[in-house]
Amino acid sequence: MENQRPSWTSRGAFILAAVGSAVGLGNIWRFPYIMGQNGGAAFLVVYLLLILTVCFVPLVAELAMGKTTKRECIGAFESVNPKLKTIGALNPITGILIMAFYFVVGGWILNYICLGFAKCEITNYAQYFSNFTQDAYSNCIFTLLFLFICVLFTARGIKKGIEFANNVLMPMFAVILLFLIISSLQLPNAHLGLEYMFKPDFSKINPHMFLTALGQALFTLSIGMGAMLTYGSYIKDDRSITKSAYTIIFSDTLFALMAGIMIFPAIFSFGLEPDSGAGLVFVTLPYIFAQIPYGNLLLAAFFILLMAAAVTSGISMLEVSVAAFTERMNMSRQKACLYIFIIISALAIPATLSFGLLSKFSIFGKSVFDFLDFATSNLLMPLNAFFICIITGWLMNIEGKMFVQNKLVAKLFDTGLRFVVPAILLGLLYVGLK
Ligand code: PHE
């Protein structure tokens, strides 16, 4: 079995895929609106602090668990102790629940790409967004289409599918992003947006901000649903995990900052409010594009960028379940992809209908879409990350000195893995459940 497992063609291929997983809607859609709702630069300071210290630990632990066990998610837990199988299964389950809402946003993106090319004159994007998200038929089609695109790449396997998608989409993503940043920085009063991002008002820092920042950091680094574990299981033995973890964190943060530098100057230039929430890139940004020359094309370029980022993340989410299905049930990749396509469709369709047909239906007071987002980001991902820390730290005896030369850093890592980070994650869970 071990010999038949695929592995990355090179260290670069792994890094690109892992960065492709991390950089996604979390960076371009979620990060700017969460930062906008939490006071700009002060939030950024807290976020950077957490992502560079606390999040480093579970990221290394997840990669290490994959690399040492060389098994898919459930098998990795099982190899530590057969009783842990159920805990391992929580990872693909979390992934499936994330995909059910993530791919709905993917569907919105496809719709906006068509909109950019269709050159239609829309004056009220808030109205357009609300009407569109209520339209059951086109939402379902676009969501399924987005899912289908991700499944197609995944079905082709590690080298021909996942590596290929990342090799093509990630550079395309970076080029479009740079182009949009340059356009945005040339707008009048662009410096106001930069000040908002980088001049912190420390009086805005509050405890809730730490929780929001930590939840966002886990989500954006793809920690707590098995994606990094599964990608880590395809790493060849001689490659350093800590260096990879630094590169992933650094690149992910860089892309989030670049997304901010693209969005906030434009928002301030047009005198708009940065705290409009989840609609920031679907309502506020198109409104801005509508006022500038070649705005339609820029709109299409922006949403193609978003699509590229979302597809490479979507592929990594799919891979967790695909690896589990193929390796545990001895199934072909294509067949596994077909089953997973059916399962996710069954969950994503109710999520797409949350804004229209099923808007009256609620789970614990939330729409299906909001419930899936909440249950995964605030509960299941911290819970899975907690288990990974405990299992690698206490049962697998993973130690800092295995990866880092510096004794002090190794010691800090050990304390972080066994005590500090699990405690912080439990705190996050507690507040999430309250
Ligand atoms: N990190 C991805 C993003 O920022 C989302 C993701 C979460 C991907 C979990 C894989 C696993 O969009």
- Mean local confidence (pLDDT), 371-389: 93
Q: Give me the mean pLDDT over the 221-240 stretch.
A: 91
Instruction: Tell me the residue ranges of DSSP E strands in 347-401.
Output: none
**What is the best residue among 93, 252, 306, 316 to mutate for testing ligand 1's pocket, by most ligand atoms within 8 Å of CB?**
316
**Cα 369 to averaged position of ligand 1 atoms, centre (Å):** 16
Q: State whether the beta carbon of 251 lies less than 6 angstroms from ligand 1.
A: no
How far does residue 123's CA lie from ligand 1's centre (Å)? Answer: 33
Do the beta carbons of residue 250 and residue 59 sit within 8 Å?
no
For the CA of 27, the nearest atom of ligand 1: 4
Asked if the model's pLDDT at residue 362 lies above 90, the reply is no
Distance CA(431)–CA(211), nearest Å, equals: 8
Full DSSP string of 176-198: HHHHHHHHHHTSTTHHHHHHHHH
Average pLDDT, the chain: 91
Q: Distance between CA 166 and CA 13 in Å, rounded?
A: 8
State how far the Cα of 243 lies from the Cα of 38, in Å rounded to an integer.
Answer: 31
> Residue 237 pLDDT > 80, yes or no?
no
If residue 227 lies in a helix (H) or strand (E), which one and from where to where? Answer: helix 227-232
Q: Is the pLDDT of residue 97 over 90?
A: yes
- Find out whether the beta carbon of 184 lies less than 6 Å from any atom of ligand 1: no
Dist. CA 220 → ligand 1 center (Å): 5
Nearest-angstrom CA–CA distance, 366 and 369:
8
Q: Which atom of ligand 1 is nearest to the CA of 223?
A: 9
What ligand 1 atom has the least distance to the C-alpha of 29?
12
Q: By percentage, how much of the chain surpasses pLDDT 70? A: 99
What are the tens digits of pLDDT across the range 255-283?
A: 999 999 999 999 999 888 888 877 888 98
The encoded tokens of residue 178 equal 């740079």
pLDDT range class, residue 321, cuts 50, 70, 90: very high
Q: What is d(CA 226, CA 223) in angstroms, rounded to the nearest whole number?
A: 7
The rounded distance, in Å, linking the Cα atoms of 411 and 396 is 17
- The rounded distance, in Å, linking the Cα atoms of 380 and 384 is 6
Stretch among 5-14, 61-70, 184-193, 287-296 having the lowest mean pLDDT: 287-296
CA 260 to CA 196: how far, in whole Å? 10
- What is the mean pLDDT of the segment spanning 326-351? 94
Q: How far apart are CA 38 and CA 16, in angstroms?
A: 30
Q: Is the pLDDT of residue 384 over 70?
A: yes
- Tell me the per-residue pLDDT of 31-46, one tens digit each, with 9 for 90 and over: 999 999 998 999 999 9
pLDDT of residue 356: 80
What is the structure's pLDDT at 389? Answer: 98
Residue 200, Cα to own-chain centre: how many angstroms?
26
Q: How many Å lie between the centroid of ligand 1 and the Cα of residue 342?
A: 21
C-alpha pair distances (Å), 185 with each of 180, 181, 198, 281, 282: 9, 6, 15, 17, 20
SS3 annotation, 93-151: HHHHHHHHHHHHHHHHHHHHHHHHHHCCCCCCHHHHHHHHHHCHHHHHHHHHHHHHHHH
Buried b (16+ CB within 10 A) or exposed e, 182-202: ebbbebeebeebbebbeebee
The secondary structure element, H or E, covering residue 424 is: helix 421-433
Closest C-alpha to ligand 1, atom 10: 222
Q: Give CA angle at 134 (129, 136), nearest 5°.
A: 130
DSSP secondary structure string for all residues of 42-89: HHHHHHHHHHHTTTHHHHHHHHHHHHHH-S-HHHHHHHH-GGGHHHHH
CB 395 within 8 A of CB 81: yes
Of 217 and 114, the structure prediction assigns the larger pLDDT to 217
pLDDT at 4 over 80: no
* Euclidean distance between CA atoms 434 and 68, whole angstroms: 36
Cβ–ligand 1 contact at 24 (below 6 Å): yes
- Average pLDDT (181-195) is 93
Residue whose CA is closest, atom 6 of ligand 1? 222
CA of 124 to the centre of ligand 1 (A): 31
